[in-house]
Amino acid sequence: MKTIVKSRLAELLQTMAQDFRVLVPVKSEAISQFVPWQEGLTVNLEGNTVLPPKDIFFPQTEKMYKFKVKGSSVDIEEFAEDVQKQVIFGIRSCDMQSIDCLDKVFLTKGYEDQFYKTKREKTLLVALSCTKPQDTCFCESMGLNPQEAPGADVQGYDLGDALGFVAKTPEGEELLAKYGSLFTEVNAVPQKVEGFNLKADVAGIPEKLAKMFDHPIWGEVSQKCLGCGACAYLCPTCHCFDISGTVKGDQGYKFRCWDCCMFSEYTRMAGGHNPRPSKKERVRNRFLHKLYYFKDRYGQLLCTGCGRCIAKCPVGMDITAIIEKIKEAEV
Amino acid sequence: MSVSTADIKRINPLIPIRGKITKIVQETPDVKTFHITTLDGQKPFTPLPGQLAMFSIPQVGEAMFSITSQGPNHLEMSIKEVGQLTRFLHEVEEGQECGIRGPYGNGFPIDYCRGKDLLFIGGGIGLAPVRSLINYCVENRKDFGKLIVVYGARSYADLVFKEDLFENWPKVENMEVFVTIDRAEEGWNGHVGFVPAYVEELNISPMVTITCGPPIMIKFVLQSLAKMGFNDKDVITTLEMRMKCGIGKCGRCNIGSCYVCLDGPVFTLEQLKLLPPEY
Ligand SMILES: Cc1cc2nc3c(=O)[nH]c(=O)nc-3n(C[C@H](O)[C@H](O)[C@H](O)COP(=O)(O)OP(=O)(O)OC[C@H]3O[C@@H](n4cnc5c(N)ncnc54)[C@H](O)[C@@H]3O)c2cc1C
Ligand code: SF4
Ligand code: SF4
Ligand code: FES
């Protein structure tokens, strides 16, 4: 295994940053997130980031095209996007799995989302194993291995004082070879993962949910939800967006931004008809989407067990508790 | 430059191409039909009957509309004034430039309809999507059996496509058009009453049926058709959900695991019965 002592991590990142935009997990005050590496930053390898890395491919707001109006004439022009080659360094298994979900949404089913694709194609992924799950983590229950991220180009391991790297794709091989002189070849064994505090048994859940659209549990579980949308914004797999625009004088631009099916406006139509008029329908949609619809459409669950929604919901909505309720519900 | 369906998929499907409104027809007090071309007078793309387009006036808004008809060099959309974008559209003049992207959605199952007798049922602006298939059948008359149209609106003034209803379609071979309005009014000698009741009155034997209209009309039409022995897989309708992307990405228009913008808007009653009733 190629290893480097943690005290030399900055040197590795600094060297990589000459060839790539390198995104690393960094903590500032209460928020941790992936930001472009620059000298002097402290990489935070403790636990997962508070904000998911989805904004790297799917920014919270993203300009789509600009327009200019002159009388009845309308000019439309694309923004020329200069996408750099980039490396995401230190991404966890759960967030790697979420990228797989996002790939399915944005790159399959007939259309490719060009905004997503340009960034995704230029990205190398260096995953980092988890050894100490946080209180709200349950990725193992979702079928993930916290030490082996699906789809990573390089799997990184936390070896205590050092970090170890194993290439998983030809691109990963190339990346490690490029900075080979910084690594020491060592026969290292990754540390064992500590046990999980949270568990969820998802076996049979999608099949059961197929029969639970009208079940009273949606009325119950939705009662305390505030509809604030924090769960969706923090979720690494949530991908709904709105398209909107701004105009100043005779010009403006269209942008897309994250949206959330927990908002009342989300499905409201012209004339005021809303197929999801109350919290009950909206909360139901959120959980059915994650635990049933997405599986039906794309073959996997839209939850990776990262636990962010559990950690940050202001009223303590807990998806593992809801999975439990579904398990126990009579149909 | 005209753009084919394949091009639309290749280029960024979220960015509209530039278009121009070349003709505006006032259908009813609040519905106008817009003819749209590219800036150099070509058809922006060639949709299948029942497909949709995202139409925009970039500084005002963007919304999804069914393409009600097409010619060799233009697309037609019939738009009811209900909100901000549509209000703006109802004020513009011919020559207004716009954005258009598409075609989106699955369209009507033409292959399935081919060779069969077809019953079209429309209410209000709901005749707009159905008309794309009616016109297709009229243009390819030999490929289809008997064509029957049953259409209703609140009043005579609210009937859309009057020229088609009263002049063009009745002249087509083996095609019948039945029009009704909700309440009697001076000068109207035709049928009075709601569409579902009229359909029952006409005592049409079961055939492939394409229905579109306000949700309440659709609901009662479906009941009537069931009573008359129509087969669920021969009852075809279109659904409307709020839409933003049109390509199955933004997540907005889902009904269960299906996205109306991509897997719809056309569904058979047989398919609808498998979806959660969330529309
Ligand atoms: C598959 C499909 C096919 C369609 N085909 C046609 C067609 O052929 N012809 C046609 O006329 N229409 C069609 N529509 C409807 C059309 O897409 C638009 O929904 C409608 O025309 C919107 O008009 P607008 O943009 O002017 O309304 P907007 O200005 O966007 O507003 C419409 C309404 O939305 C509600 N609304 C929006 N935002 C808010 C807010 N912040 N607060 C409160 N209320 C709000 C209000 O009720 C408002 O009146 C179709 C829709 C779909 C999905
Ligand atoms: S974070 Fe909690 S309260 Fe807010 S929308 Fe999500 S479930 Fe509801
Ligand atoms: S639903 Fe919650 S636990 Fe699952 S991936 Fe999203 S934020 Fe993480
Ligand atoms: S309109 Fe975006 S998914 Fe259907």
Q: Which of B90, B93, B216, B242 to mutate to test the interface with A (most CBs of A within 10 A)?
A: B242
Does residue A279 or residue A192 have the better pLDDT?
Answer: A279
Quick check: is A70 in a domain? Answer: no
Asked whether residue A16 falls in the same domain as residue A96, the answer is yes
Domain ranges (residues) in chain B:
17-104, 110-238
**Per-residue confidence band for B9, with pLDDT thresholds at 50, 70 and 90:** very low
Cβ–Cβ below 8 Å for A256 and B14: yes
Quick check: is A171 in a domain? Answer: yes
pLDDT at A261: 93
Quick check: is A296 in a domain? Answer: yes
Asked whether residue A152 falls in the same domain as residue A219, the answer is no
Asked whether residue A170 falls in the same domain as residue A234, the answer is no
CA distance B44 to chain A (A): 15
Quick check: is A64 in a domain? Answer: no
Asked whether residue A116 falls in the same domain as residue A261, the answer is no
**CB neighbour burial string for A114-128, b if at least 16 within 10 angstroms, e if fewer:** bbbbebbeebbbbbb
**Per-residue confidence band for B133, with pLDDT thresholds at 50, 70 and 90:** very high
Average predicted confidence (pLDDT) for chain B? 94
Quick check: is A276 in a domain? Answer: yes
Asked whether residue A132 falls in the same domain as residue A238, the answer is no
Cβ–Cβ below 8 Å for B99 and A74: yes
Tokens of B55: 């139409």
Q: How high is the ipTM of this complex? A: 0.91
A48-81 pLDDT, tens digit per residue, is 999 999 999 999 999 999 999 999 999 999 988 7
pLDDT at A272: 81
Which residues in chain A are contacts of B258 at CB distance < 8 A? 297
Q: Looking at the predicted structure, is the pLDDT value of residue B185 above 80?
A: yes
**Per-residue confidence band for B2, with pLDDT thresholds at 50, 70 and 90:** very low
pLDDT at A111: 93
pLDDT at B5: 44
Q: Give the strand pairing for B191-192 and B175-181.
A: parallel
pLDDT at B58: 95
Asked whether residue A317 falls in the same domain as residue A239, the answer is yes
Contact (Cβ atoms closer than 8 angstroms) between residue A308 and residue A234:
yes
Quick check: is A194 in a domain? Answer: no
Cβ–Cβ below 8 Å for B93 and A254: no
Rounded to whole angstroms, the Cα distance separating A218 from A216 reads 5
Asked whether residue A228 falls in the same domain as residue A181, the answer is no
**Per-residue confidence band for A82, with pLDDT thresholds at 50, 70 and 90:** confident
Separation of CA A196 and ligand 2 centre (Å): 24
Cβ–Cβ below 8 Å for A72 and B95: yes
Domain B110-238: CATH architecture, name and number where available: 3-Layer(aba) Sandwich (3.40)
**Per-residue confidence band for A269, with pLDDT thresholds at 50, 70 and 90:** confident
Asked whether residue A176 falls in the same domain as residue A209, the answer is no
Which residues in chain A are contacts of B249 at CB distance < 8 A? 105-106, 111, 113, 239, 241
Cβ–Cβ below 8 Å for A256 and B257: no
Q: Which of A72, A241, A297 sits opposite B257 (nearest CB)?
A: A297
Query: Lowest-confidence range among A260-269, B71-80, B226-235?
Result: A260-269
pLDDT at B277: 87
Quick check: is A266 in a domain? Answer: yes
A317, A318, A319, A320: residue to mutate for ligand 2 pocket, most atoms within 8 A of CB: A317
In this structure, which topology does domain B17-104 adopt according to CATH? Answer: Elongation Factor Tu (Ef-tu); domain 3 (2.40.30)
**Per-residue confidence band for A96, with pLDDT thresholds at 50, 70 and 90:** very high
Asked whether residue A214 falls in the same domain as residue A143, the answer is no
- pTM higher than 0.90 for the full model? yes
Quick check: is A321 in a domain? Answer: yes
Which residues in chain B are contacts of A73 at CB distance < 8 A? 97
* Domain range for A84: 2-53+80-185
User: Total structural domains in chain A?
Assistant: 2
**Per-residue confidence band for A12, with pLDDT thresholds at 50, 70 and 90:** very high
Span B3-31, average pLDDT? 81
Sheet holding A86-91, edge to edge: A31-36, A21-28, A86-91, A123-128, A154-158, A162-167, A2-5, A184-185
The alpha carbon of A9 is separated from its chain's Cα centroid by a whole number of angstroms, namely: 24
Closest residue in B to A269 (Cα–Cα): B242
Q: Domain ends where: A154, A185, A216?
A: A185
pLDDT at B6: 44
- Annotate chain B with three-state secondary structure: CCCCHHHHHHCCCCCCEEEEEEEEEEEECCEEEEEEEECCCCCCCCCCCCCEEEEEECCCEEEEEECCEECCCCEEEEEECCCHHHHHHCCCCCCCEEEEEEEECCCCCHHHHCCCCEEEEEEHHHHHHHHHHHHHHHHCHHHCCCEEEEEEECCHHHCCCHHHHHHHHHHCCCEEEEEEECCCCCCCCCEECCHHHHHHHHCCCCCEEEEECCHHHHHHHHHHHHHCCCCHHHEEEECCCCCCCCCCCCCCCEECCEEHHHHCCEEEHHHHCCCCCCC
- Residue bearing the CA closest to ligand 4, atom 3: B248
Asked whether residue A85 falls in the same domain as residue A209, the answer is no
Q: Which of B13, B92, B98 sits opposite A111 (nearest CB)?
A: B13
